[in-house]
Structure 1
Amino acid sequence: MLWRLALLIGLLTGGAWLSLGAIERAIIYPFDATRVPPATAGAPNMQEVERAGLITWQAAANPGHPTIFYLHGNAGNLADRTGRFSRFMARGYGVIAPAYPGSSGSAGSPSQEGISQAIRDIWHDLPRDARVVIYGESLGTGVAMQLLGSVVTDAEKGLAPAGVILEAPFTSVRDVASALYPGIEPLLDHLTQEWDSMAWAANLTMPLLVVHGQNDKMIPPAQGRALFNAAPSADKRFLHVPGAGHTDLWRSDTLPVFWNFIDRIK
């Protein structure tokens, strides 16, 4: 997810401070802005909805099935997740997949504040009685944790998630950079996009599935384990995937774990 931090670090050490914020955002959010209709991407059963310039792909759940609130990673666009969405729908799950500002045709420029606000707005519009599983992928795990920490911790104020899946999660952007490039910690004081997931870990009280690849070179598996250990949920599982890296966690031997977890939410 964050391999471009190497470039950021090079810029920092070179003294490029004045435009650091813009550079940092460009590195962390290399979204594909191309707007591709669901039908063109191979998902004719999904509907594209635009609200206040934000693109969302969605499909209704079959009766008695939960909906997946899918928070994508920082590579590609929604069209690149068509295969995943199709698998969800084939099992009867609903899908709500927002595109962050600057991704997949959504208006605006990406930032932690802007992404978080956009996702909060969509979440607030969901029916209070919906059964929704939050699914965070890579960068999307940070978005999921921010969402949990800011709007869904009090069921009286809005919809509480029925479960959470975190695929290749990180504890914070700072921690990822420190793990990949030891010794640069003083430079990280200039980061503005923190995505501090550990700050919200205490809100993981619902059923939780954390999935991490043994050979993930982008986000150390230890960070996924740390987030899992910090979660107070009494119903949680950590799936350590032998031989897997960062982007190959959907396999024939792992998908049954995903499905079993989601099916329990019905």
Structure 2
Amino acid sequence: MWKIGILIAGSTFLALYVLLLFTLIFKTPDLLYRFDFGGISAAGKTMERKETDTFKGWYEVTGEAVPILVFVGNVGATMDGYMKTRALAASGHPVFILSYPGTEGDFRKPSETIILEDARSAYDWLAQAHGRPPIIYGISLGAAVATAVAAEREPAALVLEMPFESVYAMGRQMFPLAPPVDILPANRWRTIDRISAISAPTLVLHGTEDRLIPYAQGLSVFNASRAERKAFISVDGGGHNNLHSFGVEQDISSFLAENLE
């Protein structure tokens, strides 16, 4: 009987493990791209809608400082990106916030490939419109987008809030029994690999109490950076969505003022 019990337990474990792998491989897009926002709310009427054949987003020109290209996270994130760039916009930095596919009237299915196509186009347009490379600013999921674009272009600077190492690393946080090797066929967002190709001044910010993206992953991304000018801001007590309540705007402004050429 004990042999039958072991066989049943082993079969159950195997079935659950296969289900785990199925979830990681095939359900990642549904878990990752949980977009649910409709653009800039009433508080953000200073921005104008910008739509082209290759990308869409929100645009505001407040001066002639280095432009900023913003890649946000997911739920509620367009407004979040707007609020987090108010101090920079007030100091004369034009701001463009990319709208992801699957949001704000764009019915394409989001994926790493499609998002990066839009992101590259937005970068090239913004750089040409202002005659200089922009600062790239990424928040949460947007930090992965920002790193990917920065690895292929030469931005004026890179700012990352709450970056993760990769989607698979995040998956293993939830499912520790997942294989140690990245098995995702797509939507991998491997920031930990891409960050080493970036030479632009790089600022990473992470809250010590972030319950969504572990603080250790943000620190790991920073340590993997090979930029000569880089800084890590550890926000003691900061969570995933409240870093700016700790006054990090001044830290960001100071870093950019010291490192922009």
TM-score by length of 1: 0.81
Which of 140, 143, 158 is 2:142 aligned to?
140
- Tell me, what secondary structure is at the counterpart of 2:189? coil
| 2:147 aligned partner, one-letter code | M
RMSD, matched Cα:
2.7
Query: Which residue is 1:46 aligned to?
Result: 47
Paired AA for residue 125 in structure 1? W
- Partners in 2 of 1:18 and 1:225 — Cα distance? 27
| C-alpha deviation, 1:105, in angstroms | 2.9
Q: Which moved more, 1:116-125 or 1:53-62?
A: 53-62
Unaligned runs of 5+ in 2: 1-14
Q: Deviations over 1:220-250 (max 9, x none)?
A: 1111111111111111110011111111111
Measure, in 1, the Cα distance between the counterparts of 2:16 and 2:250: 43
Higher-helix-fraction structure: 2
1:11 and 1:29 map into 2 onto residues whose CA distance is 24
Q: How far apart in 1 are the matches of 2:232 and 2:23?
A: 41
**Which runs of 5 or more residues in structure 1 are unaligned?**
1-9, 153-159
Identity of aligned residues (%): 27
Deviation of 1:187 after TM superposition, in Å, equals 9.6
Q: Which has the larger radius of gyration?
A: 2
- Matching of residue 71 in structure 1 with residue 71 in structure 2: yes
Measured in 2, the distance between the counterparts of 1:140 and 1:54 equals 15
Question: 2:195 aligned with 1:209, yes or no?
Answer: no
Secondary structure at 2:69 match in 1: strand
Deviation at 1:181, TM superposition (A): 2.7
Q: Is the 8 A contact 1:54 1:106 kept in 2?
A: no
Q: Which residue of 2 aligns with 1:198?
A: 192
Query: Displacement, 1:94?
Result: 1.0
Larger RCO (CA within 8 A; separation ≥ 6): 1
Give the aligned partner of residue 255 of structure 1: 249
Q: Does the CA contact (< 8 Å) of 1:132 and 1:161 recur in 2? A: yes
User: Are residue 176 (structure 1) and residue 170 (structure 2) matched?
Assistant: yes
Task: Give the SS at the match of 2:160.
Answer: strand
CA distance in 1, matches of 2:20, 2:144: 28
Count of residue pairs the alignment pairs up: 244
Partner of 1:103: 103
Normalised to the residue count of structure 2, the TM-score between the two structures is 0.83
Q: In the aligned structure 1, how far is the partner of 2:58 from the partner of 2:141?
A: 18
From 19, 28, 36, the equivalent of 1:14 is: 19
Amino acid at match of 1:30: R
Q: Following the alignment from structure 1 to structure 2, what is the Cα–Cα distance between the partners of residues 132 and 261?
A: 15
Which amino acid in the other structure matches residue 83 of structure 1? M
Give the partner amino acid of 1:76: G
Q: Deviations over 1:53-112 (max 9, x none)?
A: 74210112413x121110000222423433224333222211011111012333411111
